[in-house]
Chains A and B, each alone.
Chain A
Amino acid sequence: MSTKGSRVELLQGTLDLLILRTLRPGPAHGHAIAKSIERSSSDVLQVEQGSLYPALHRLIKRGWIVAEHGTSENNRRAKFYRLTPTGKKQLTVETSKWDRVAGAIARILQSQTEPT
C-alpha cells in the first residue's frame, strides 16, 4: 500500500476509547463505526477493521455499550451498538485520562527536542 507510511498503528486500548467516542452521538453498526473512526482521523489512524469486533464485545462485557437489532440506512437488518449511561461516564473518565497522558508525552517530547 502506497499510503502505508503516513498511517499510524493504533495503540492497544485506544480503540476502546475511540469506539466510545464514536458512539456518543448515537447508536451505530460495525461498519459505520469503522468508517467514522477512519474519517474523523482523516485516514491517519488505520484500524484493521476486523479487530473492531473483539473490542466491541469487550465493551459489551464491561457494560459500557449494548448491542441491539435495528435497520441500517439501506433498510437492512443490522446490529447497532449504543452507549450505556455507564459507558458515557466511562468516556469522560477515559478522555480526561487520555488528555493527561497525551499532554505528559507531548511535554516530554518537547523538552527532548529543545536542548538546553
Chain B
Amino acid sequence: MTIPRRPDLDDLDGEMRDHIEAETHDNIARGMSEDAARTAAMRKFGNVARVKEDVRAVWIPGWFDQLRQDIRDAVRYVRRNPAFSLAIVLTLALGIGLTTAIYSVVNALLLRPLAYSHPERMVWLSTRAKDSSRDIMNSIDFAVWRSQATSLEHMIAYDSGDATVVVGGEASRLRIVSASQGFWDVTGAQPLFGALPIDADSPALAITHRVFMELFHSDPTVIGRAVSIDGQPATIAAVLRDNYHPQLQTFGVIVDLDTVEPGAYRVLRVDPPPHVITAMTPVRVYQAIGELKAGVTIDQARAEIDAIHAREQRDHPTPFGTTSVVVTPLQDKIVGPSRRALGILLAASFVVLLITCANVANLLLSRAAERRKEIALRMAVGSGPLRIVRQLLAESLAYSVLGGIGGVLLSWWLVNTVIAVIGAGVPRLTETQLDVGVLAVAAATSIGTALLFGIGPAVALLVTNVHEVLKDGGRTASASRRVMVTGRAMVAVQVALTIVLLAGAGLMFKSVWRMTRYPAGFAPDQILTMRLDIRGPQYRDQKARHDFVAALVSRAKSMPGVSDAAITTGRGSMILVIKEGEGIPPPAERERRAAPVSSISPGFGPLLGMSLLNGRWFNDLDSPGVVIINESLARRDFKDTDPIGRRIRIPWLGQNALGTIVGVARDLKYAAIDADAAPELFFHYADTPFFSVTLVMRVDGDPIAAAPAIRKALSAIDPTQSLYNVKTLEDVLSDSIAPRRFNLLLLGTFAIVALVLAALGVHGVVAYAVSERTREIGIRMALGAERWNVVRLMVAQGMWSVVAGLVVGLVGAWAATRLIAGLLYGVQPHDTATFAVTTLTLGSIASLACVVPALRAALVDPVTALRAE
C-alpha cells in the first residue's frame, strides 16, 4: 500500500475555476443567460475561500496554518507603523531589560551554587562575641576544633593578604590566599600545569590563570620559576585553570568587606593546639570553612562544635573574649546579606515590567479607533472572535519578541555597567553573566508580557458591535467609552505602582544621604590612607617596627602639603573589657563585655576630627599602659561614673597588666558608616605588637594627586617595604556602603523609568481622549463653551485616574516600605517627608502630562472639527 501523498494544493484554484466554468456551461445549455448562469454556478459552488481553507485544513492542522497567517499579518502590521512600533518595542525593551538584568544578578548571587566540589556541604566556621556581628576565628580555637570534631570531612583555615610579588625585576601587588590542607579538595582545584602545593613548609605558589597570563604572558615554562614575595623567595608550583574561582569571604582592613580577586594561593600551616594557653600565646586570626561529611546535617556539626567549644572555654579560659560558635551554610555567609535586598530589587523590576505592560497596553488602545474598523470588517467577512483575539495576540507577541531582543541587549549593557561602577563592593557580583538560564527567563518574560499587555486591548476591541462600527465609521460611543475606561484603569495602575517605587527609592536615597553626611570637623575627603605590612628579618624585633613607623610618621609630617600624619592598626581584634580588681568573666558574660580595639599613634584622633568628651589624647611621652575609650564604651561599662583614671586590663602587655583610661572620645563613625556607633577602645601603639598599620595623613588640596609623591618619599625610608591600597578615607567609606549604593542605583533607576513611563501613559490617555472627542469639543465650542472649560474638562478626566492611582499607590507604598526597613539607615520606613515629596513629584509630573495634551483641545477649531466627520 502506498503512503497517501498530499496533492499540489496550488492546483486547487484552477480546479475550482474549471468546476464553476463547467457548471456555467451546463446552465447555459439549460437556457440561462450567461450572467445568470455564472451567478447560479457560483452560488451552487459556495464560498471559494472557505473551501480552500477546508482543503488545507485536511492536510495542515488549522492552528498551524492560522498561526503562520497571524505571524505574517503581525509582522506586516508592525512594519506598517514604524514610529508606533518603535515606541512599543523601546518601552518593552526597557521593562524586559531591567528585569533580565536583575534576574541575572540574582542568578549569579543567589541561585547558582558556589564553586566548590560539594557546595551544599560547605559551612562557614567561626566564633562571635554576642553584641558583635563580626566573625573571628582564632588559630587556637580552630586547632582545637580540627583536632576533635568528627562531623566534618575537611576543615580549612585561610587567610588572605596583599603582597608585593617581584617577577624578573618587575614588582606587582597580588592578593595571596594562604589556605590549610584540604583546600584543593573542597574547591575542586585542578592544575593546568605543575602540581598543586601541599607542603606548608615549602614556599610554593599556585598562581591563577589570570596572573599566569598577565604576569607570565602565558609562558608554560613558568613552573619552577623563582619569584620573591615581600622579599621572601618562592617558586611557582602550579598554574590553576581559568575556571577556578572559589568564593571566599575575606575581610578588608578598615572596611569589613573586601573582594579583590586572589592572584595566587599557598599552603597555610596550622599548628596543633598548644598545651598551655596564656595571654602571651601567639594567636592568629583566620577565616575558616568546612565540608560536612556525607550524611551529616549542619545541626549535628554545630552541636558537636558547640560542645567542643564550651568544654574548651571552661577548661582554658583566655583573655580574648570569643564565645558563641557560628556554623552556617557557606552560601548564606557569602550571599546572605544581599538576599533580602535582591529580593526587593527583583520585585521592583517586576513592578517596572508591569508598568511597561500597562503603558504598552495604553499605546495599543490609542490605536483602537483605527483598529476597530478593521476588526469589524474582519468579523463581517466571517472571522470568529477567537481568531481575532489570536491575531491581536500575535501582534503583541511580535512586539514582545522584538522588545525581548532589545531587552537582552540592554541588560547586557546594564550588567556590565553596574559591574564596572560598583562590582567589587558586592560579593559575587562580578560573576554575573547572561547564560542560557537568564536568556530563558528573558524569553519567558517576553511571552508573559505579550499576553499581559495584549489581552486587555484585544478584549476591549473585541466587544464591538459590527453593525454599529461599520455604519458609524468606527466612532461609536459605547466602544469608545470602553476603550477609554480600560485606558484610564491602566493609567491608575501605572501611577499606583510608580508611587510605590518612588517611595522606596526616596527612602533609600535619604538613607545614603544620611550616611554620607559627616559630622563637623570630619573631612574624610582630605584624609589619605595607605596600608603597610612590615615584613622581613630586620623587623623581627618590635622596637624596630616601632622605630620604622615613627620614622614614617615624622617624615610624612614634614612633607609639604601634609598637615598631619598618624597611624592606626585598624580594628582587627576584640578584647574583653575587664576593670581593675575583676576576674575574667565566665563565658556566659563575656559576650557583652567585648569591644574592638585599635592601636593608634598620638595624632590619630585629632587628625580624624574626633573630639574629646573628657581627658586627653595620647602623647609621645606617655609611659606604657594608657587607654582611651569612646563614648559608647563609657556609657556601657562605666554608666554614671567618671571613667578617667580607672584601670582596665591590656592583654598584650602581660598576664595581669593594667592600663589607665586617660580620655573619652566622642563617637565617630570613621570605619563603618552604615552601622550605629558601637563601643570601642584605643591603645597606644607603643604598647602593642603589630605587623600591619594604616598610615593616615591629612592633606591640603587633592589627596589623590599628592599621593604618588608622598608614597615615593616614604618608600625611600625603606624601599623593601611597600605601601599599598592608597585611597582617601572617603573612598574607603564609600566602598563600605557599596552594596547600599548599588541598591540605590538600581531602585533609583527603576523609579525614574517608572516615572517617565507613567507620565507617558497619562499623556497618552488624555491625548487619545482629546482626539476621540474632537467632534464633541467642536460642538461644545460651537454652542459657546469657553476654551478654558474644554481644557478643564480634559484635564479633569486624566487627573481622576491619577488621583485614584495615587491613593491606591500610597496605601501600597505604606505597606511595601515596611519590607525595606532593614535596608534603611537613619530614616523610618514611613518617613512623612519622603512620602510627601514623592507624592508631590509624581502628582505634579502627572498633572503636566495631563495639561499638555489638554491644551491641544483648546486649539480645536469648531468648524474644522464638525466638518471632519
Contacts and interface: CB of A to CB of B under 8 A. Distances in A.
A33 to B, nearest CB: 10
B59 A57 contact: yes
A58 B6 CA distance: 10
A30 interface: yes
Given A79-B11, A86-B1, A54 B58 contact: yes
B48 A79 contact: no
Interface residues of B, number: 27
A78 B16 CA distance: 10
B23 A31 contact: yes
B589 interface: no
A48 B20 CA distance: 12
Interface string B28-57: 000000000000000011111011001101
A54 B19 contact: no
A111 interface: no
B18 A76 contact: yes
A57 B55 contact: yes
Contacts of A79: 7, 11, 15
Interface string B7-30: 100011001101100110010000
A54 B22 contact: no
Contact of A50 (B6, B18, B50): B50
A62 B4 contact: yes
Nearest to B48: A50
Interface string B659-674: 0000000000000000
B505 to A, nearest CB: 61
B538 interface: no
Contacts of B15: 30, 53, 78-79
A67 interface: yes
B22 A31 contact: yes
A31 B51 contact: no
A49 interface: yes
Contacts of B641: none
A50 B4 contact: no
Q: Is the interface of A mostly helix, strand, loop or mixed?
A: helix
Given A48-B46, A50-B50, A61 B23 contact: no
| Most chain B beta-carbon neighbours within 10 Å: one of A50, A67, A72 | A50
A48 B1 CA distance: 32
A49 B51 CA distance: 10
Contact of A54 (B3, B44, B45, B55): B55
B22 A67 contact: no
Interface in A28-61: 29-31, 34-35, 48-51, 53-54, 57-58, 60-61
A50 B45 contact: yes
By CB atoms of chain B within 10 A, which of A57, A60, A72 has the most? A57
Interface residues of A, number: 24
Most-contacted residue by chain B among A31, A48, A66, A79 (CB, 10 A): A31
Contact of A48 (B18, B44, B58): B44
Contacts of A76: 18
Given A50-B51, A54-B57, A63 B4 contact: yes
A78 B18 contact: yes
A86 B48 CA distance: 30
A50 to B, nearest CB: 4
B1 A63 contact: yes
Nearest to A57: B58
A79 B59 CA distance: 18
Contact of B4 (A61, A72, A78): A61
Nearest to A61: B4
Given A30-B19, A61-B58, A67-B7, A51 B46 contact: yes
B495 to A, nearest CB: 54
Interface in B204-237: none
Contacts of B11: 79
Contacts of A86: 1
B47 to A, nearest CB: 7
Contacts of B26: 35
A86 to B, nearest CB: 6
B51 A63 contact: no
A86 B3 CA distance: 12
Nearest to B26: A35
A38 to B, nearest CB: 10
B2 interface: yes
Given A31-B22, A48-B44, A49-B19, A60 B55 contact: no
A62 B59 CA distance: 11
A54 B50 CA distance: 10
8 contacts: A48-B44, A50-B51, A53-B51, A53-B54, A54-B54, A58-B58, A61-B4, A78-B15
Q: Which 8 A-B pairs have the closest CB atoms?
A: A50-B46, A54-B54, A50-B51, A31-B22, A57-B58, A48-B46, A63-B4, A31-B19
Interface of A: 29-31, 34-35, 48-51, 53-54, 57-58, 60-63, 66-67, 72, 76, 78-79, 86
